[in-house]
Structure 1
Amino acid sequence: MRLPPFAVDVLLAIGQAVLVVMLGPEAHVVGWSTLDGRGYLLALLVIVPTMFRWKAPLLVCLLTYALWTLYVAVGYWPVVTSFGPMLCLYTVALQKSTKVTGLCAGLLAAIWVYGGLVSEDNVSMPSPLTVASQAIGINALVWRMGYLARRSAELARKTHAEQHERARRAVAQERGRIARELHDVVAHHMSVISVQAGLAKFVFDSDARTARTALGTISGTSTEALEEMRRMLRVLRAQEDDGVVPDAPMPGLARIEDMTDRVRAGGVPVEFRVTGTPRPIAPGVELCAYRVVQEALTNVLKHARHASATVELHYHRDRIEVSVTDDGEGVIPDRVRSDGGHGLIGMRERAKLYGGTISIGPRSAGGFAVRLTLPTSARAAPPGDDVTE
């Protein structure tokens, strides 16, 4: 159990009092006056303020110095009560600036030397040079100990603050990642469901076959959305050390064709082309590419309904490239620009996370294009790392 600071100071004061009682009667052995009633009273006055050193370190230090000077001036052995002044110096060095501490250390050394000067007739007293050396050496050691303790405490506080900041950034980045995942899952699937629901309602009485097809698309899309949401929840609930692995794989490049089929069913003609030799790629890179394509097609579905789109996947030796182009108006609607940037910023953040590059904008020939390049050896950048696009 850790004692409160005041309780520790009380115990230290009691220890000083015991030291006075033990050494006081021995003062005559080294040529000093034996403590009498007045001597014990002055020794007690030197000790008592040290119990309040944490309340006002500098004030208590100066008061203790003054009382110790009086004690020494009367002719009592300084060693008996020297612990209190040195304890006060240590406390000041622990809490105050180096300049203030240096002044207190110099003042204590001067009092120490003064004790030697007022006792020159004491044959047992060391030479002035020895006294000065002791005063400087011992008090410098006490000051240094307090200084190092203060620096250690400052370093500990700084380290704690940095750890707290890193944890805060990690939490913020994780929230951003979750927000991007939720946006991608919900925005895409709900866009498809909304379009298909509108189509089914429009042709429900006149074209039962088209209505049934739209309802089937709604069913499949909603089921896939639920599966992805469940997978995300399992990942979030899983602990790093419990060995829980989601039983549903993350969406990847193999599911882009299914996505294009779903968008095509929503009324947007979509062509999907693959060039190069398909090969296994890191799951995180595949998910990044999948989400970017998903967001791009969602924007086509929402804002370029009468356009046609092309999705191209290129496998290169050390990278993959995916592009989504359409022949619509080629302008980002105002509501997309002002929605907080969840879609467009999310695509850029995903590319940045895996060290890739992305371009988003209108095409010179008309329409809109999203082009993403990702290194196939990429790993997600650790929280706090800066990745240059």
Structure 2
Amino acid sequence: MRTGEGLLGRLAEGGRRPLVVDSSLAALYAAGSLVLGQETPAAPWQPMDALGRVLILLVSAALTVRRVAPVPVLAAVIALWLGYIGCGYWPVVNSPAVLLALYTVAAAHRTRTAAVCAAAVGVTWVVAGLLGGRYTPLPAVAVQAVAFPGVVAFLGRGAGVSAERSRRLAVLTDRLRAEQELRAERAVTEERVRIARELHDVVAHHMSVVSLQAGMASYVVEVDPVTAKGALEAIATTSREALEELRRLLALLRVGPEGEPEGAGEAAPYAPAPGLDRLEELVRRVRAAGVPTELRREGTPFRLPPGMDLCAYRVVQEALTNVLRHAGPAAAVVLVRYAARTLTVRITDDGNRSAPADSPSTGGHGLIGMHERAKIYRGTVSAGPRAGGGFEVELRLPAPHAAGGEPVGRPHP
């Protein structure tokens, strides 16, 4: 039962087209053999009769499924051929079927199987010569028994190797195409995450400052117009800076065909990304929003690659934004320490947080974005409450001059 199921399964897997081709070839073979059988020489061969025709048709029927079960078909064809010769019929009529079945085995199986089957056909050829070739010289039969199966098996194995190579190449091509599509999808996803992180860093900080300044202005507009005016001016300045950073980000996204930002010749904004050299501006904005903030630098400054410089700036920006949002009445300190092998940026505050830095209300992008940025440059970010109250965020990045860069500037006290 299992054998029948396997045969039907292989027929289904092989598809209809090979079966139709093999059936047509078997029909042509049957027609040719029946015609050739009518031309059987006189004695000593048995004239073609009904039994001979049945044996020819059985061989042809076996050939229709030669690609589904190559070895069983070869065994069946050999047995039918020996029976055909044993009945005294002319051996030439059914001998091509044996060679065709051997070719199919060699094309479908490994070299060892092909060699064993070729040897079996050779032995069968000699036996056939002994059965019906009393008038055929035995040396000629021996040469045929070696040459015919050997050449057919060699050609069949070559065709099989070529077909297998083509199949493997097709599989590798499909796999490569799938990997390329997956890589492209991953690149798109990573780019979306990067853009979302940039937008979050730009918008969240500036909008937090604007929100606080607007609230303060509406609160003191009647009792302290001067303070309200200062808050409105801070809102205008912060809004302009936010627009400039958004324009810079959009200019980077709109890349023209030659790698230039679209509109570059039309005064398109393409200012350099912010870095640690702009921390003073950032600290001033936070102070203007009502949080006393101090900036300290220690060690000898060294030049950072643009991406690493932006990473450090964004971490400070996100940490101070969280101070504005969650720390309540607080003071903050930003410490930038340049060491021989490490750049350390620490942001501390002494406030009482009303919500965690990555609470659901913030969307959970803050600390996650910090960790992702630092990871790109083999850095680390730690964040948590301080023992004496408040919160601390620390970024550690490997110093680039340790890999060949040069320090710049003078040591800070």
2:223 to 206, 212, 226: 206
| AA partner of residue 273 (structure 1) | R
Matches within 5 A, 1:4-153: 58=68, 61=70, 65=74, 75=91, 76=93, 78=95, 82=99, 86=103, 90=107, 92=108, 110-111=120-121, 114-115=124-125, 117-120=127-130, 121=133, 122-123=136-137, 124-127=140-143, 128=145, 133-134=150-151, 137-153=154-170
- The residue aligned with 1:169 is 186
1:214-258 per-position Cα deviation (integer Å, ceiling 9, x unaligned): 12222222222222222222222215x613157221111111111
TM-score (normalizing by structure 1): 0.71
* Residues 89 and 133 of structure 1, relative CA distance in 2, 3 Å threshold: closer
Contact 2:345 2:396 survives alignment (8 Å): yes
- The residue aligned with 2:367 is 344
2:333 to 300, 304, 310: 310
- Secondary structure of 1:195's counterpart equals helix
Aligned equivalents of 1:314, 1:248: Cα separation in 2: 27
Contact 1:191 1:298 survives alignment (8 Å): yes
Contact 2:326 2:357 survives alignment (8 Å): no
Q: Which moved more, 1:321-330 or 1:137-146?
A: 137-146
| Bigger radius of gyration | 2
Aligned equivalents of 2:300, 2:306: Cα separation in 1: 17
* Residues 225 and 111 of structure 1, relative CA distance in 2, 3 Å threshold: farther
Aligned equivalents of 1:219, 1:84: Cα separation in 2: 88
Tell me the percent identity: 41
- The residue aligned with 1:296 is 319
- Secondary structure of 2:183's counterpart equals helix
1:147-185 per-position Cα deviation (integer Å, ceiling 9, x unaligned): 444444444444344333333333332222122111111
1:258 to 281, 284, 289: 281
1:377 partnered with 2:400: yes
- Secondary structure of 1:296's counterpart equals helix
Q: Which moved more, 1:324-333 or 1:256-265?
A: 324-333
Matches within 5 A, 1:236-255: 236-238=253-255, 242-245=258-261, 247-255=270-278
Aligned residues: 349
Aligned equivalents of 2:157, 2:23: Cα separation in 1: 23
| AA partner of residue 312 (structure 1) | L
- The residue aligned with 2:407 is none
2:293 to 258, 270, 277: 270
Alpha-carbon RMSD across the aligned residues, in angstroms, is: 4.3
- The residue aligned with 2:386 is 363
TM-score (normalizing by structure 2): 0.68
Q: CA deviation at 1:65?
A: 4.7
2:239 to 206, 209, 222: 222
- Secondary structure of 2:272's counterpart equals coil
Where structure 2 has 5 or more consecutive residues not aligned to the other structure, the ranges are 1-14, 85-90, 262-268, 402-413
Aligned equivalents of 2:361, 2:115: Cα separation in 1: 64
| AA partner of residue 364 (structure 2) | G
Aligned equivalents of 1:271, 1:228: Cα separation in 2: 24
Aligned equivalents of 2:151, 2:395: Cα separation in 1: 74
Contact 1:43 1:81 survives alignment (8 Å): no
Q: Which moved more, 1:124-133 or 1:211-220?
A: 124-133
Where structure 1 has 5 or more consecutive residues not aligned to the other structure, the ranges are 51-56, 379-389
Aligned equivalents of 1:368, 1:41: Cα separation in 2: 92
| AA partner of residue 357 (structure 1) | T
* Residues 228 and 119 of structure 1, relative CA distance in 2, 3 Å threshold: farther
Aligned equivalents of 1:299, 1:254: Cα separation in 2: 21
- The residue aligned with 1:179 is 196
- Secondary structure of 2:294's counterpart equals strand
| AA partner of residue 309 (structure 1) | A
- Secondary structure of 1:118's counterpart equals helix
Q: CA deviation at 1:195?
A: 1.1
